[in-house]
Structure 1
Amino acid sequence: MVQLDVNALFRRAETEFQSGRFEAARTDLVTVLRIMGDHPQVLHLLALCETNLGRANAAADAFRRALKLAANDPQINNNYANLLNQQGDVAGAFRHFDRALVGNPKAVDPRYNRALLRQRQGDWAGARADLDQLIAAVPGDPRLWEARGTVNRDGGDLAAAAADYDRALALAPDRPIALHGAARVALERGDDAAVPAYRRALDHSAQDPALVLGLAEALEAAGQGGGIALLADQVARNPGWIDGQNSLARMRAESGTDGDFAEGFAKAVALTPADRGLQFAYWRSLALGGRQADALRALDQARPYLGDDAELAMLEAVFASESGDLDRADAAFARAGAGQDVDFARGRHALRRRDPGLAARLIEPLVRADIGMVSAWAHLSLAWRLADDPRHRWLCDQPGLYGTSDIGFSHTELDRLAATLRDLHRTRAHPIGQSLRGGTQTRGRLLTRPDPILVQLRERLAAAVGAHLEALPPADPTHPLLRFRGQPFGFAGSWSVRLSGGGFHVHHVHPEGVLSSACYVALPKLDKGDRPGWLEIGAPPAELGLDLAPLATIEPMPGRLALFPSYMFHGTRPFDEGERLTVAFDVVM
């Protein structure tokens, strides 16, 4: 009987694994284990083979057997954590990354991978701490600097992100992730260097559609021509590219030129009418542009190719309700099944049907399940108000939930700020899907720009927000705003709006915020008689057809900051002529 050399067999399995022959490697490893019994390194390699063969359960079993013999082995724990993360077991992944570092605190891979997982979970501080420890040990690794840049960008510190990407590129000038990251940060900071940064990135990754999209947006933001043509060409060559189609529709709408902003979508669905994702994106683009009836017609035209199911019925119901065909919406909702999105849409439809009781019954479970669901709170506030439910006062009318303050800018500082903002308004029409009508809105994150007057503005706004939070009613863990009392805050989106004569904001909410705002920079002469240009808080959107007056109106004044809960509907009254220039932002916790 031939006696097998298990060491030679294991070495052969290692070679097979490195060559991508995972099934052959697995066969040899099973033989080794049958001869010698469980061994951590053999089981580890077997787990990696099973992972590459797509056999997650078998891989997990091999990892667990290996860890029974080497509980703190950093590489086994690291690779098992990666598998658990792929399977959606985030807690298990963290547990094994931690165990890997207990066994070897200096291990690079588990700390790096834990940093990436922390980033994906929104734990920017934890991710930075892991990366800083690695950078202290290996400062010349560009991978670590670009990862830190991405963490800082996602966490809102664009200045630090820019410095991190620059450091990565100084170490390795051709790294695609760092090149793209540096260009994206420049775009979000409003830096005109974004255009050459995107061109440089495209020199190294010419076929990357995300870079083409970024360059088109950078050209638009810089007020240079060619962005729409560049993106239209890319979309024509890849009509099923949904991100590109969405951005092209937005850019065409904001350009203020004649024509159908969604024509790229229309041409694409004509070529591939059975492409479900593309069709849905087309309809949603039309709806965002206020063309719900057109979205409904496009849905009807696609039905022979897509059939009918609950998801399609849900969109049909929403478009029908928003376009005023309430009976058709009722019939479609009956086919739309159940779920969070359906219940919220039915609740909004119930308000349009003047049935606040049904609206409340549909929406109350949603906010109990997710207290941060801003849009649900906004519509529930209307249902409670219509029903004269005392909870409406608790939600929207406690003293101190909304109010105004002065940011302390002099007339000269306001003039400087106004001049800076006017230079940033480079589009011709309002963006689709946004609240303004008769004006323009800046792109990117306004309050991250390095311009000194904007830095000064951010400091004043932060002080005003801090004072507002300190003056809130007592903390209440069941209240969507007061649950955050006493917690640190940050700025999320920030932008400027420039309205001209006849311009206004439709009533809306900010789904990603906790507090929202309007800071007035420049105003026309306004006749106070019927309060033109004033901010209204608490009035419902006009399309719901509800006869409810605003809970408060706020007079715009240069240097005045209005703050209010993001879940409260707010809009502005139109004014006759002149310029109304504001800065707005969302506060997050």
Structure 2
Amino acid sequence: MDRTAATRIVSAFPIDDAANAFSAGLDLIRNDYPELLLPCAREAARRHSRDARMHQLVGIAARNAGESRLAYKAFQKAAKYASADPLIAHSLARTAMEAGKPAVALFETAIRLAPQNGEVLQGHAAALIAEGRAQDAMEGLSAILGNNPGWLEGHRALAHLRGQLGLPATEALDRSLISHPGAEPLHHLRVSLLLETPDPIGALDALKQARQTIGERGWISLLEAHATSEAGQKSAAETLFARLPSPTTPNDASLHARWMLRNERGDDVRALAEPLLHLDTDRILLPYLALAWRLTDDPKAKWLEGDPALVKVIELADKLPNLPKLAEHLRSLHFASAAPLDQSVHGGTQTDGNLLLRDEEPINELRKVLRAAVAEYVDGLPPATDNHPTAIAVREPQRIAGSWSVRLSGSGFHRDHVHSQGWISSALYVALPDLADQGHKAGWLTLGTEHDLLPSLPPRQVVEPKVGRLVLFPSTMWHGTRPFTEGERLTVAFDIARPKQT
């Protein structure tokens, strides 16, 4: 369904027919048009005020559009008229948690209605964490995994939680593999988690165990070569990659590209990745090509990242006068004692959940200001260009896909990384130490380089952090920060989702 077809459905929306309204609404949701649906759904709910489906439709549309307060209220009404519906119960619990409201009891209701639903069980653990009960969350997940050792998402959730609390991440997974040594998905997950940590040496050991237990597999050979390269074993990695078949998917090719870039083989990255770009819907390869194009002086490097309008610095201190209050609020949300496994943070912590969905005064004020800043940035983007990841044709809606706060302490930094599935990424500085005497450009944001892969390639741009300063840039652009020696560096970051282009 394209936008023209979606607009036709909205213009003829069957407001007075609840059953058909629900069906048409779900069709719009499935095709990612929640903003178009929302006014119709709200009117349908007004006319059919005792029909749980109409309130459910408002809730689904509002949640997908990032309107967390409206979503929560809509699911409250839906649960009033359909208290035994497991999906509505789960949705109410989920939207309550996303809005920053107590949700443990609501998830317990959802569990009673759907005791085997893995998403509900994970949500319950997340709600416990949000209410300061991380130990209870760990114990609950561990108990479930004791009875269901093949529950991969449960293992992943527990590993991430343990990692954030500074505990050995894969302990439960290791126990499950002792009792189920032939479970290939568990071996694969353990390797993936160790690579996320990042612990390439531990991953190599896990790969050795997997090969000894389940035999040779294509993924084992590929990840062995990748982990060897990430561990800095250049000669061994070259031998292992030489044995592999040429990759045919963007994900596999990205691992080859990382190894090639470590060896400054930009031409080889281009030869490998450019023919696969038509398959690269998640833009996994494009950041690596950006580096390869710069390394080889390819004009496409300028086409991709050279326009100065792609990076915008906006001063928001005068529009956010309560930054100290915001900083205090953000600190209260940092429950962890260590960085998340799969994020760029080193020497700091990161909040859970989608921060800007929280229905709290400091966050509501922040969200309003940030939305206006994003609109200003989008208005200044270059004209639409075929195949460009940022200068796209359709630029609405500007939907927040994810948001979080990072709190770095002395020696903390962000490893260079990308958010390739997003459209626009960001950094807002909420609190900073005095960085002037902490080394040359300590704590500054770097853009356009991946220091771990290509230490000789300088950044395209570096940006000095200042309290109240917002930096917006393409999600496919490499970004990281330089370490600093002491103090607290508190930021908010978010991604804007790439709007549907048809």
TM-score, L = length of structure 2:
0.89
Q: CA offsets, 1:355-393, max 9 Å, x none?
A: 1001012222333444x5433221111001110112212
1:303 aligns with 2:211: yes
1:432 corresponding residue in structure 2: 341
User: Which one-letter code corresponds to 1:380 in the other structure?
Assistant: L
1:522 corresponding residue in structure 2: 431
1:423 corresponding residue in structure 2: 332
2:111 to 182, 185, 202: 202
Q: Number of paired residues? A: 489
2:374 corresponding residue in structure 1: 465
2:192 corresponding residue in structure 1: 284
User: Which one-letter code corresponds to 1:378 in the other structure?
Assistant: P
- Matched residue SS, 1:303: helix
1:158 corresponding residue in structure 2: 68
2:180 to 267, 272, 276: 272
User: Which one-letter code corresponds to 1:124 in the other structure?
Assistant: P
How far residue 320 of structure 1 moved from its aligned partner, in angstroms, is 2.8
- Matched residue SS, 2:392: helix
Contact 1:310 1:335 in 2 (8 A): no
The 5 Å alignment of 1:548-587 reads 548-587=457-496
Q: Distance in 2 between matches of 1:267 and 1:409?
A: 54
1:244 aligns with 2:174: no
Q: Distance in 1 between matches of 2:442 and 2:366?
A: 26
Contact 1:541 1:569 in 2 (8 A): no
The 5 Å alignment of 1:168-567 reads 168-191=78-101, 193-224=102-133, 225-257=135-167, 260-326=168-234, 327-328=236-237, 330-332=239-241, 334-335=244-245, 338-370=248-280, 373-409=282-318, 413-484=322-393, 487-527=396-436, 529-542=439-452, 544-567=453-476
Contact 1:310 1:337 in 2 (8 A): no
Q: Distance in 1 between matches of 2:42 and 2:368?
A: 27
Q: Distance in 2 between matches of 1:129 and 1:564?
A: 32
Contact 1:188 1:444 in 2 (8 A): yes
How far residue 307 of structure 1 moved from its aligned partner, in angstroms, is 3.0
How far residue 478 of structure 1 moved from its aligned partner, in angstroms, is 2.8
Q: CA offsets, 1:239-277, max 9 Å, x none?
A: 1111110010011011124xx210111111222222222
Contact 1:374 1:511 in 2 (8 A): yes
Q: Distance in 2 between matches of 1:531 and 1:261?
A: 34
Question: CA separation of 1:273/1:337 partners in 2, compared to 1, >3 Å: closer, same or farther?
Answer: farther
Percent identity among equivalent residues? 35
Q: Distance in 2 between matches of 1:293 and 1:137?
A: 62
How far residue 545 of structure 1 moved from its aligned partner, in angstroms, is 4.1
- Matched residue SS, 2:284: helix
Contact 2:444 2:481 in 1 (8 A): yes
Q: CA offsets, 1:42-63, max 9 Å, x none?
A: xxxxxxxxxxxxxxxxxxxxxx
Q: CA offsets, 1:204-240, max 9 Å, x none?
A: 4445443332222111122224211121111122111
Greater alpha carbon shift after TM alignment, 180-189 vs 343-352: 343-352
Q: CA offsets, 1:264-306, max 9 Å, x none?
A: 1111122222222222112111111101222222122122443
Contact 1:112 1:130 in 2 (8 A): no
Question: CA separation of 1:411/1:154 partners in 2, compared to 1, >3 Å: closer, same or farther?
Answer: closer
Q: Distance in 1 between matches of 2:253 and 2:285?
A: 10
Question: CA separation of 1:485/1:559 partners in 2, compared to 1, >3 Å: closer, same or farther?
Answer: farther
Contact 2:287 2:420 in 1 (8 A): no
Q: Distance in 2 between matches of 1:237 and 1:486?
A: 47
Q: Distance in 2 between matches of 1:427 and 1:389?
A: 43
Contact 1:435 1:507 in 2 (8 A): yes
User: Which one-letter code corresponds to 1:290 in the other structure?
Assistant: P
1:47 corresponding residue in structure 2: none
- Matched residue SS, 1:520: strand
Contact 2:197 2:342 in 1 (8 A): yes
Q: Distance in 2 between matches of 1:294 and 1:448?
A: 36
Q: Distance in 1 between matches of 2:78 and 2:118?
A: 23
User: Which one-letter code corresponds to 1:253 in the other structure?
Assistant: G
Contact 1:470 1:486 in 2 (8 A): no
What residue ranges of structure 2 are gaps of 5+ in the alignment? none
How far residue 581 of structure 1 moved from its aligned partner, in angstroms, is 0.6
Q: CA offsets, 1:502-555, max 9 Å, x none?
A: 11101111122111111001111112650111111112141x144111111111
Contact 2:108 2:124 in 1 (8 A): yes
For the aligned residue pairs, the C-alpha RMSD in angstroms reads: 2.8
Q: Distance in 1 between matches of 2:320 and 2:82?
A: 47
What residue ranges of structure 1 are gaps of 5+ in the alignment? 1-89
Q: Distance in 2 between matches of 1:488 and 1:382?
A: 30
Contact 2:222 2:244 in 1 (8 A): no
Contact 1:374 1:566 in 2 (8 A): no
The 5 Å alignment of 1:141-152 reads 141-152=51-62
Question: CA separation of 1:507/1:419 partners in 2, compared to 1, >3 Å: closer, same or farther?
Answer: same
Higher helix share: 1
Q: Distance in 2 between matches of 1:309 and 1:340?
A: 19
Contact 1:336 1:342 in 2 (8 A): no
Question: CA separation of 1:345/1:127 partners in 2, compared to 1, >3 Å: closer, same or farther?
Answer: farther
1:41 corresponding residue in structure 2: none
